[in-house]
Amino acid sequence: MTVHTDESMQRPMQLGALNIPNILTYRRIAAAPLVGATYYIPGNWGPWIAFSIFIVASITDYFDGYLARAWQQQSALGRMLDPIADKLLVSVAILVLAVDGMFDGTSFWAAVIILMREIFVSGLREFLAELRVSVPVTRLAKWKTTMQLIAVAALLIAPALQGARQGFIINLGLTFFWATAIVTLYTGYDYFRAGLKHLVDEPR
């Protein structure tokens, strides 16, 4: 009797973990190391493959949330893994580009700002989650994410191009990258300000 009850309780959890929105999130997590691995394939194929994987994975970032809401398949697991998948995908891509020498001079600091903000916001969200406090994603933060994806995608494909097209795409990518870094500073401060009262009011 006890075994039957345990199985009946576990079944909804298993079905929730394997719904389509969560499967899309799992694939986005798996795409992160694939972007890094394929980028270094010799010739132009590497950047093209990495770029394609990154684009497809970025598109699923929209669809997993949309489908979860449309099909009423939102879950605690999905809410936890979705931002992790986003950060893994972008962080791995930025590190790959940095190793490849795409960020020279001041552009390197834009990458540092973006990565520091991602770590900071993740830590803040984790702390506030323990207090059962939710920090909603702002519209500006969503625009930041869009600019960031455009920047990274452009810089991933740039090595596969030649001549004027390559220079244009690199400049475009770096422009969006710096715009992302600037917006990142503001949204990071915005999140900190939203959580500050909970940090100050924390019982000792």
pLDDT at 5: 42
Tell me what the pLDDT averaged over the chain comes to. Answer: 82
Task: Give mean pLDDT, residues 170-197.
Answer: 86
Q: Domain of 160: which CATH number?
A: 1.20.120
Give CA torsion, residues 51, 54, 57, 59, to 10 deg.
Answer: -70
* Position 11 pLDDT exceeds 50: no
Do 20 and 77 meet the contact criterion of CB atoms below 8 Å apart?
no
Of 154 and 126, the structure prediction assigns the larger pLDDT to 154
Average pLDDT over residues 141-149: 88
**pLDDT at 177 > cutoff 90:** yes
Q: How far apart are CA 53 and CA 35, in angstroms?
A: 6
pTM for this prediction: 0.81
| Residue 98: per-residue pLDDT | 93
**Among the listed residues 42, 40, 135, 144, the one whose alpha carbon sits nearest the alpha carbon of residue 92:** 40
* Range of the structural domain that residue 156 is part of: 2-200
Q: Per residue in 65-106, pLDDT tens?
A: 767 777 777 776 767 778 888 889 999 999 999 999 998 878
Split into its structural domains, the chain has a count of 1
What token pair was written down for 30? 């798996």
Structure tokens at 188: 């990071």
Task: Identify which of 80, 76, 34 has the alpha carbon closest to the alpha carbon of residue 57.
Answer: 34
Q: Which residue has the tokens 């010799």?
A: 42
Helix residue ranges per DSSP H, 40-72? 45-70
Percent residues over pLDDT 90 in the chain: 40
In this predicted model, what pLDDT tens digit does every residue of 30-40 receive, in sequence order? Answer: 999 999 999 99
